[in-house]
């Protein structure tokens, strides 16, 4: 079977311990340094990722706040424009009413002037007709001034305007 030589085993153990001492002295520290460096790199990457995530969340929050603010401003802008449009509509309607009222008043004044002018023309025409009729009926002629004064006196007794 297997023969174990005690001298060989001692030399194997001695070689193994020497190899462990050499590895510990020369290789272990560099291996641990590489492992520590790798661990530090991984930790830095995790920290950077966490920082990037926090920054992204912060940017998202700012973006949401900006969107909300923009929506509020747009809503306010629409409300103000609606109010301005209503005010303009009201002003335009009021101006139209005032203009229509002004035109109506001018028309009434013009009608009144025309009516007065027609009444004056009618009075003059009635006076002339009365003078003509009087001449024909009486057969004599009064002087023009006297006739005119009698007619004007009679027409003056007639009401000046009739209100409808």
Q: Is the pTM of this model over 0.85?
A: no
pLDDT tens, residue by residue, 136-154: 666 555 677 777 777 777 7
CB atoms < 10 A from the CB of 154, how many?
A: 12
pLDDT tens, residue by residue, 54-94: 999 999 999 999 999 999 999 999 999 999 999 999 999 99
The token pair at 90 is 């009201």
């Amino acid at each position: 079977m297997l023969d174990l030589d005690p001298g060989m085993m001692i030399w194997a153990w001695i070689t193994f311990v020497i190899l462990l001492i050499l590895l510990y002295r020369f290789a272990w520290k560099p291996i641990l340094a590489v492992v520590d460096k790798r661990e530090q790199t991984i930790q830095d990457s995790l920290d950077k990722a966490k920082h990037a995530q926090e920054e992204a969340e912060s940017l998202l929050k700012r973006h949401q706040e900006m969107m909300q603010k923009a929506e509020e401003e747009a809503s306010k802008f629409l409300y103000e424009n609606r109010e301005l449009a209503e005010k303009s509509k009201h002003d335009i309607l009021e101006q139209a009413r005032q203009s229509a009222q002004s035109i109506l008043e001018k028309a009434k004044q013009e009608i009144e002037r025309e009516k007065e002018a027609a009444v004056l023309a009618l009075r003059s025409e009635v006076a002339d007709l009365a003078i003509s009729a009087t001449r024909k009926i009486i057969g004599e002629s009064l002087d023009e001034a006297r006739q005119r004064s009698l007619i004007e006196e009679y027409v003056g007794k007639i009401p000046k305007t009739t209100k409808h």
